[in-house]
Amino acid sequence: MSQCERTSWEFPALPYAYNALEPYIDAQTMEIHHTKHHRAYFDKFYAAIQGTELESLCMKHIFSMVSTLPLAVRNNGGGFFNHKLFWKVMGPNGGGEPQGALAEAINQSFGSFEKFKTLFNEAAANRFGSGWAWLIVKEDGSLAVTSTANQDNPLMDIAEVKGFPILALDVWEHAYYLKYQNRRPEYVSAFWNVVNWSAVTERFEKASQ
């Protein structure tokens, strides 16, 4: 991981307007989620690494040794990275199905797109408490669905199932409570309408590099 270094940390702008995912994810939720929750993770993460040797490392490197680092790095570094990926894999005019090599990989690993969706829905529904559902590329190049608690993710050395995340769904209650309240499954169904499959495909290609 010597090639993975960085020189600056920035809080990313949302790649679309707050209302761009309406009616599936409401503008108020997006705005609070980005400007309050995500922002707080970024600020606390940066405060935790500023002036330390971690400041010059990339996230992947930090996550690979997160069990040896302060809890603030794990929780806030996870919160920073996970939300950044989450924004990226959604978008207006999303939905539909993946194409090309990603579609083939999904068929190969899960049998069909529908079977993959069912697995992902279950991972999102069954994560008790706060957490995330993931589609990851494992070390052997196969795809897998997993979920993590709180702000953990599959890049972390503490993750039960490890891999490179290419699709993420936030199932903390803050991600859906204003619109869906206790009805998490409705939020999970709505999510498929805003998945940006070309962004997921880019991540997929990046994983195999």
Partner 1 sequence: MGHPIPRCPHFNLNQSMKRNVVLIIAFILTAFTTQAQTSLSILQTPSGKSVFPPLPYAYNALEPSIDSLTMSIHYSKHFKAYYDNLMKAVSGTPLADKTINQIFANIADVPVVVKNNAGGFYNHDLFWEVMGPNSGGLPTGEVAEAINKSFGSFDNFRKAFDDAAKGRFGSGWAWLIVKEDKSLAITSTANQDNPLMSTAEVKGIPILTLDVWEHAYYLKYQNKRADYVTAFWNVVNWQAVAKFYQNALK
Contacts of residue 172, defined as CB under 8 A and 6 or more positions apart, other chains included, come to 130, 131
Shortest distance, CB of residue 151 to Fe ion, whole angstroms? 8
Shortest distance, CB of residue 37 to Fe ion, whole angstroms? 5
Rg for the chain, CA atoms, rounded: 16
Please identify which residue in 66, 75, 82, 119 interacts with partner 1, judged by CB under 8 A.
Answer: 75
By the rule CB under 8 A, 27 interacts with partner 1: no
Shortest distance, CB of residue 172 to partner 1, whole angstroms? 7
Shortest distance, CB of residue 131 to partner 1, whole angstroms? 8
Total residues interacting with partner 1, rule: CB under 8 A: 19
Please identify which residue in 130, 186, 189, 190 interacts with partner 1, judged by CB under 8 A.
Answer: 130
Of 44 and 84, nearer to partner 1 (C-beta) is 44
Given Fe ion, partner 1, none, residue 170, with its beta carbon under 5 to 8 Å by kind, binds: Fe ion
**Segment interacting with partner 1, rule: CB under 8 A, options 50-58, 138-146, 167-175, 200-208:** 167-175
Given Fe ion, partner 1, none, residue 150, with its beta carbon under 5 to 8 Å by kind, binds: partner 1
